Structure 1
Amino acid sequence: MKRRFKIVTGLAAVVIAAATGILALGVPPADAAVGGSGPYPADYETSSGLPNHTIYRPQNLPAEKLPVFVWGNGGCSGNGLSQQNFLREIASHGFLAIANGAPNGSGSTTAQQLTQSIDWAVAENSRSGSKYYGRLDTTRIAAGGFSCGGLEAYAVSGDPRVTTTTIFSSGLLNDADDYQLRRLTRPIAYFIGGPSDIAYPNAMDDWGKLPATLPAFMGNLNVGHGGTYDQTNGGEFGRVAVLYLKWRLKGDTTAGSQFVGPDCGLCRSQWQVQQKNLTLDGGTPPTSPSPSVPPSGSPSTAPGCSAAYRVQDQWSGGFVAGVVVTAGNAAINGWRVSVTLPGGAAVTSVWNAVGTGTSGTVTMANAQYNGRLAAGQTAGFGFQGTGTGAGATVSCTAS
């Protein structure tokens, strides 16, 4: 069952209302980074052939062809500068990013505008005399969006020209819309703001309903619904979006290693990670932690699954830890991890698992959406605690 997060409905769009200190949507960020951090300093422009859109591109088009990323703004805002730091950062790494809405535009957008962006890019790539003539890779197109814009991205995910979908702090609002999940056939990635994100329950509900064989990534960064889009170069969401697009649209497997396997780059960071059916370039994802970055606790195996514990952050008086659960040689229907904490440590909050107990040996069982794992598949959960996290041990039991 979907939990409806606060919305305002209109004829053209669903507009997310920020009610808990969320950064204002549709307002150009004050610290807009000039150019982005990539090798191709980027800016935005408009085109008479694509009204009510904002086009982010390298200022000097590189020799390499640019894959295309079409974007729906938070709140379905008609201001194409709503996430300008984030989109300029993506463009600076060799992409053409097209946002719904004119620069400083007003009103609301629709999913149809994402289709218009794709149509325009394909046409410009084929039009003699266009600055983009033969300069775009229109076989590699991603659709993405933040909050209400994520609903727009879902709506066009069935377009055969879309090769991957990216959902940022969003989830379908009604069970009646789940057909959009069932029709997915190409990779999807979710980047969500953790349990404090108002879209979190809906995103996790969607995650549990994806087609069984669909390649999918779920990353949760506990920053809430507002994300990091207004930070310089789009902050952490900008960084991971670039990596994901480099992997999926440019075939960069080094970037892809941030998302694939139990020892993926984001698995060893503040992100809470889940994966389904992910491989690098058709290969087999890694199955053991890198010896150069061992977990801070000792991995322990049991029939059916294994668990690896890692302290992700430690400060005076508290810590954040993550655990990666890996299914064994056969599929499992659920898992339960026992975590023996060091003396004086206590759990204060848990995400992506159901916790029992707060000190000594505590148990963390799968949530409704992440218990069923195929052979070798992983799921992750995390928790925050008081005291010191180093020295904990874990064991896993499958069902």
Structure 2
Amino acid sequence: MRKRSIISAVLAAVVAPVCAGVVALTMTPSAAVADSGPYPAGYETSTGLPNHTIYRPGTLPSEKLPIYVWGNGGCSANGLSQQNFLREIASYGFLVIASGNPNGSGSTTSQMLTQSIDWAVAENSRQGSKYYGRLDTGKIAAGGFSCGGLEAYAVSNDSRITTTTIFSSGLLNDSDDYQLRRLTKPIAYFIGGPSDIAYQNALDDWGKLPAGLPAFMGNLNVGHGGTYGQTNGGEFGRVAVLYLKWRLKGDTTAGANFVGANCGLCNTQWQVQQKNLTLDGGTPSPTPTVSPSPSPSPSPSPTPSNGGPRACSATYSVQDQWAGGFVAAVNVTAAGTAIDGWRVALTLPAGATITSLWNGVNSGTGGTVTVTNQSYNGRLSAGQSTGFGFQANGTGAGATVTCTAG
């Protein structure tokens, strides 16, 4: 059950603003304590993106910068609210855009995260911009702390976002769970442990994530305030850099901190949970949960072996059904030999139409839909399983699936 009354009080408490200042298109010197990354960073503002604070390396590196858009704690419009944390991330070669002016006042909205993405994509294409051709617009992450985490949830279905990061936050009402059902890209939670006011809400969200969605949760027992104000953002800053290096730069050494029973954060002060995580198409990691997801209602549909050396099978189950819609999962298993890809023919019940699908690529939305693997889950060893999930309108019972190995 959600703890709306408690967490709302925290999320509504916006940090008292300092006198508003203006920083226009000039880098602000870093604080006395240097960032730990290879590119010393600062912040600036742009007249083309009012009410935002832009963190970037002081000297742009030759490599393209992935983009990270951020919602502040308390939905504060002070873009310096988590300055140490965000500047640390930028120092590792990221363009980080926080909602709100430096030392700004008032509150932010989720639309400001979308504005950040729009601006960055446009600047990357604008001749004469310092960012012209310097940004990796195919690698964009959204994140936020506390109330800012709710803003990140709100924009997580933007097709340009490749991963979402939720810091000390969780949905306030069960009526908002549709935001979980529409998730299609990897998500990570970094929570302040049982003393964090958002802890129960985050666990509730974790238990309701779509089947097959790659997800990580780390709990560090520091409470709701996290470590953002510490030097270089403290421990939250360190793990945020590792996660973004993995998801936005393809750094599998950094990714090893999150994947597998012996991950870098496992057996440390972090309490770790994992779902459907792989490195380079490897075997999915164990999936422990704190609170179980709703029991699936399996409707297995065996698949013929296809008579060849490579074969696969698929099973279908309804994860959640409500008036007018449902969430379902399809599990794909390689037969006696390894496969390099798979294709599932999914025949939906009459009147059902897919509205979103994750961990697969679909052709069509109604009737018989063909779903093929993503780049990261097509190669399976003998007996290994993966899967995809989807949300649809209509009733989920009665669908059938058949699998063909690639």
SS in 2 for 1:245: helix
Tell me whether 1:16 sits opposite 2:15 in the alignment: no
Q: 1:137 to 1:48 in 2, by over 3 A?
A: same
| AA matched with 2:291 | Q
Alignment of 1:32-111 (within 5 A): 32=31, 34-111=33-110
SS in 1 for 2:4: coil
1:68 Cα shift? 0.1
Q: 1:33 to 1:77 in 2, by over 3 A?
A: farther
1:83 Cα shift? 0.1
Distance 2:134 2:189 in 1: 29
| AA matched with 2:79 | G
SS in 2 for 1:279: coil
1:184 Cα shift? 0.3
Aligned to 1:6: 6
1:4 Cα shift? 1.1
Tell me whether 1:155 sits opposite 2:144 in the alignment: no
Contact 1:25 1:74 in 2 (8 A): no
Distance 2:83 2:261 in 1: 33
Name structure 1 gaps, 5 residues minimum: 19-23, 287-325, 328-334, 336-365, 378-399
SS in 2 for 1:244: helix
- Residue correspondences, number: 290
SS in 2 for 1:129: coil
Distance 2:147 2:35 in 1: 25
SS in 1 for 2:43: strand
Query: Percent of aligned pairs with the same residue?
Result: 78
Distance 1:25 1:5 in 2: 21
Tell me whether 1:239 sits opposite 2:274 in the alignment: no
Per-residue CA distance 1:372-397 (angstroms, 9 max, x = gap): 999999xxxxxxxxxxxxxxxxxxxx
SS in 2 for 1:266: coil
Alignment of 1:355-394 (within 5 A): 367-369=290-292
Contact 2:41 2:88 in 1 (8 A): yes
1:105 Cα shift? 0.2
1:164 Cα shift? 0.2
SS in 1 for 2:226: coil
Q: TM-score if structure 1 supplies the norm length? A: 0.68
Tell me whether 1:171 sits opposite 2:162 in the alignment: no
1:369 Cα shift? 3.5
Distance 2:292 2:16 in 1: 30
Q: TM-score if structure 2 supplies the norm length? A: 0.67
Q: 1:260 to 1:376 in 2, by over 3 A?
A: farther
Tell me whether 1:270 sits opposite 2:304 in the alignment: no
Alignment of 1:178-189 (within 5 A): 178-189=177-188
SS in 2 for 1:98: strand
Contact 1:6 1:17 in 2 (8 A): no
| AA matched with 1:171 | G
Distance 2:266 2:143 in 1: 22
Q: 1:208 to 1:225 in 2, by over 3 A?
A: same
Q: 1:259 to 1:5 in 2, by over 3 A?
A: farther
1:282 Cα shift? 1.6
Per-residue CA distance 1:163-209 (angstroms, 9 max, x = gap): 00000000000001000000000000000000000000100000000
Q: 1:234 to 1:222 in 2, by over 3 A?
A: same
SS in 2 for 1:189: strand
Tell me whether 1:224 sits opposite 2:220 in the alignment: no
Contact 1:278 1:285 in 2 (8 A): yes
Q: 1:279 to 1:89 in 2, by over 3 A?
A: same
SS in 2 for 1:267: coil
RMSD: 2.6
Alignment of 1:26-37 (within 5 A): 32=31, 34-37=33-36
Distance 1:120 1:35 in 2: 28
Name structure 2 gaps, 5 residues minimum: 20-29, 297-330, 332-382, 386-406
Per-residue CA distance 1:309-346 (angstroms, 9 max, x = gap): xxxxxxxxxxxxxxxxx57xxxxxxx9xxxxxxxxxxx
Q: 1:203 to 1:32 in 2, by over 3 A?
A: farther
| AA matched with 1:284 | T
Q: 1:32 to 1:148 in 2, by over 3 A?
A: farther
